[in-house]
Amino acid sequence: MSDLSQARILVTGASGGLGRPLVQQLAAAGATLVVSARDAGRLADLPGTAVAADLSTPGGPAEVVERAVAELGGLDGLVHAAGVVAFGPVTDADDDLLDEVLLADLVGPIRLLRAAVEPLTAAAKDRGDAFAAVVSAVVAETPMPHMAAYSAAKAGLSAFDAALGKELRRAKVRVLDIRPPHTETGLATRPVAGTAPKLPQGLDPEAVATRIVTALREDETDLPSSAFS
């Protein structure tokens, strides 16, 4: 069991539909937080120190990790809950759209994890453990038509998480890959392209956040879609 009390945690995508309940539950557990999103104004009502960051830029991920380490005096955990979605046939996805989706959902998170390895490893030496938790999506398991770029990005991110987790096992840094089913975060109503198909009622973000925090406490390293049923 991991004690989240006083854990120093960076949460990215903190202003989103899943990020908000994650931040609130982590704060209730006693964690000390840096909360990050592109728009700092949307972080004003959240607990923790707000740091604006654009993870799709080359230097954005490293900068937010550096800021978090400076604010917190180290980094015991990272929770990544940011991303974008696009809908439509592959033939409608031009290079600019592909770049936007892959930067936000694959390259940016990889850069973020890479930047966090050193401070998380240092924290694990002191505490005995540290973690990086990454919210992917059910499409990493079941790619969906008209969501090809998004599905590919999430599948790639899940593969990266699994490989990184194996690399960091001896350092006692857990990498938790999280693939919840459709959740009512509002993301599908804000696509960067296309229109969402008719979707069934999604999961409650509060319940999904609770399951994720439980996984962090119980030292889990994988949360497939079936773990949310």
103 Cβ partners below 8 Å, 6+ apart? 56
Q: Which of 170, 62, 181 is nearest to 124 (CA)?
A: 170
Buried/exposed code over 94-124 (b: 16+ C-beta within 10 A; e: otherwise): eeebbebbbbbbbbbbbbbbebbbebbbbbb
Which segments in the chain show pLDDT lower than 70?
A: 1
- pLDDT score for 150: 98
Does the model's pTM come out above 0.85? yes
- pLDDT score for 1: 60
- pLDDT score for 3: 86
HEC assignment per residue over 169-185: CCCCEEEEEECCCCECC
For residue 48, the one-letter residue type is G
Sheet holding 130-135, edge to edge: 49-52, 32-37, 8-12, 77-80, 130-135, 173-178, 222-223
Sign of CA dihedral 26, 30, 34, 35: positive
Q: What is the CA radius of gyration of the chain?
A: 16
